[in-house]
Amino acid sequence: MPALDQSWTEKYRPAKLNEVIGQEAIVEKLKAFVKVANFPNMIFAGSAGVGKTTSAIAMAKELYSEHINEAFLELNASDARGIDVVRGKVKEFARTLPLSGGQLKIIFLDEADALTPEAQHALRRTMEKYSGTTRFILSANYASKIIEPIQSRCVVLRFKPLTEDHMLRYIERVADSESLTVDEKATKALVYVSEGDLRKLTNVMQSAAVSTNVITDNIVYDIAARARPKEIVAMLRYALDGDFGSARKELDTLTLSYGMSGEDVLLQCYREALNLQIEDRLKLRLISSIGDYNFRIVEGANDRIQLEAMLAKLALMGKEK
Tell me the torsion sign for CA atoms 29, 33, 34, 39: negative
Instruction: Identify the pLDDT of residue 92.
Output: 75
| Cα–Cα separations (whole angstroms), residue 233 to 229, 237, 295 | 6, 6, 21
Instruction: Identify the pLDDT of residue 249.
Output: 92
Give the predicted TM-score (pTM) of the model. 0.80
What single DSSP character describes residue 75?
E
Q: What distance in Å separates the CA atoms of residue 137 and residue 52, rounded to the nearest whole number?
A: 10
Q: For the chain, what are the domain ranges?
A: 23-158, 164-224, 229-320
Mean confidence (pLDDT) of the chain: 86
Instruction: Identify the pLDDT of residue 113.
Output: 86
Does the pLDDT of residue 2 top 50, yes or no?
no
Q: What distance in Å separates the CA atoms of residue 12 and residue 67, rounded to the nearest whole number?
A: 22
Alpha helix positions (H), the chain: 8-11, 24-36, 52-64, 68-71, 83-85, 91-95, 117-129, 148-151, 164-178, 184-194, 198-211, 217-224, 229-240, 244-252, 262-273, 280-298, 303-320
User: Is residue 229 exposed (0-12), middle (13-18) or buried (19+ Cβ within 10 Å)?
Assistant: middle
Q: Do domains 23-158 and 164-224 have the same CATH topology?
A: no
Which CATH code is given to the segment(s) 229-320? 1.20.272.10
CA angle centred on 195, ends 175 and 48, rounded to 5°: 100
Task: Say whether domain 164-224 belongs to CATH 1.10.3720.10.
Answer: no
Q: What distance in Å separates the CA atoms of residue 321 and residue 312, rounded to the nearest whole number?
A: 14
CB atoms within 10 A of CB 252: 12
Note the pLDDT tens digit of each residue in 156-188. 999 988 888 999 999 999 999 889 999 899 999
Instruction: Identify the pLDDT of residue 308.
Output: 94
Instruction: Identify the pLDDT of residue 131.
Output: 82
Does the pLDDT of residue 62 top 80, yes or no?
yes
CATH fold, domain 23-158, is Rossmann fold (3.40.50)
Yes or no: say if 231 and 254 are a contact pair by the CB < 8 Å rule. yes
Q: What distance in Å separates the CA atoms of residue 258 and residue 270, rounded to the nearest whole number?
A: 18
| Cα–Cα separations (whole angstroms), residue 78 to 32, 112, 171 | 30, 7, 29
Does the pLDDT of residue 225 top 90, yes or no?
no
Does the pLDDT of residue 276 top 60, yes or no?
yes
Query: If you count them, how many residues does the chain have?
Result: 321
Note the pLDDT tens digit of each residue in 281-310. 899 999 999 999 999 999 999 999 999 999
Residues 6+ apart with CB under 8 A from 203: 8, 9
Instruction: Identify the pLDDT of residue 1.
Output: 42
User: Is residue 43 exposed (0-12), middle (13-18) or buried (19+ Cβ within 10 Å)?
Assistant: buried
Tell me the torsion sign for CA atoms 35, 38, 40, 45: positive
Mean pLDDT of 99-110: 76
